[in-house]
């Protein structure tokens, strides 16, 4: 046998090597098929099953996401409607408050105008007392020099010197105090106070005819 192997030519050896490789390869394929064929099939089935389950999970997740987006869109639409309605309500409320403020300011201006008209009639009556021709000229001149920023000093002087009738003295003082309190327009003026000033004006200035 040894003589046989040693007597092979190079071509014969090459051909024999190729034949051996082919036979070994075929045997390896057959052996692999026998040993691993079932396992490979099982792996392919497992992979296919896994891919199927994964596809189901992905589809379920996609359906859930779509459902969530639909719910979110619906809720956002509802919130948007509610927000718009709230803005409309706030706008109406703001307009209502502005109208009330305008009305209140107009009413306050009207009350101040009425109070001023009644007071000026009383102030004119006080000035008439100070400029009465029956009073001595020098005394009237002294009265005319009294500051008129307020009529408190003039009223006090006329009262002290008996120029104001006794039955009108307290009403002059009350009217003066009320005017001094509201002169700057800061305290809240009421209709009752305006009506009181009107009554004093009618009694202290007989020729006064109030518009209202």
Does a structural domain hold residue 100? no
Does a structural domain hold residue 152? yes
Residues 6+ apart with CB under 8 A from 75: none
Does a structural domain hold residue 150? yes
Tokens of 21: 């490789």
Does a structural domain hold residue 67? no
- Report the percentage of the chain scoring pLDDT > 90: 40
- Split at pLDDT 50, 70, 90, the class of 75 is confident
Provide the residue range defining the domain that includes 180: 107-204
Q: pTM here?
A: 0.51
CA distance 76 to 74: 5
Per the structure, the count of domains in the chain is 1
CA distance 203 to 22: 142
Tokens of 113: 């105008």
CA distance 6 to 12: 11
Mean pLDDT to the nearest integer, 185-197: 90
Does a structural domain hold residue 114? yes
For residue 177, CA distances in Å to 99, 150, 171 come to: 33, 11, 10
Contact 194, 111 (CB under 8 A): yes
Q: Is the dihedral of CA 137, 138, 141, 147 positive or negative?
A: negative
Does a structural domain hold residue 99? no
Does a structural domain hold residue 66? no
Does a structural domain hold residue 151? yes
């Amino acid at each position: 046998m040894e003589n046989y192997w040693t007597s092979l030519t190079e071509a014969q050896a090459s051909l024999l090597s190729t034949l051996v490789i082919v036979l070994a390869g075929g045997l390896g394929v057959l052996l692999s098929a026998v040993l691993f064929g079932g396992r490979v099939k099982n792996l392919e089935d497992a992979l296919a099953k896994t891919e199927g389950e994964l596809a189901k999970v992905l589809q379920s997740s996609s359906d859930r996401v779509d459902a969530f987006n639909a719910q979110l869109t619906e809720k956002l639409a509802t919130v948007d409607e509610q927000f718009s309605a709230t803005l409309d309500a706030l706008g109406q409320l703001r307009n209502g408050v502005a109208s009330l403020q305008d009305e209140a300011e107009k009413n306050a201006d009207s009350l101040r105008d009425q109070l001023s008209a009644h007071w000026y009639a009383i102030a004119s009556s006080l000035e008439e007392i100070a400029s009465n021709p029956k009073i001595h000229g020098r005394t009237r001149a002294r009265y005319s020099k009294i500051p008129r920023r307020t009529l408190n000093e003039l009223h006090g002087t006329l009262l002290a010197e008996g120029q104001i009738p006794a039955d009108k003295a307290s009403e002059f003082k009350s009217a003066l105090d009320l005017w001094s309190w509201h002169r700057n327009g800061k305290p809240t003026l009421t209709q009752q106070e305006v009506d009181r000033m009107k009554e004093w004006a009618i009694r202290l200035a007989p020729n006064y005819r109030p518009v209202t």
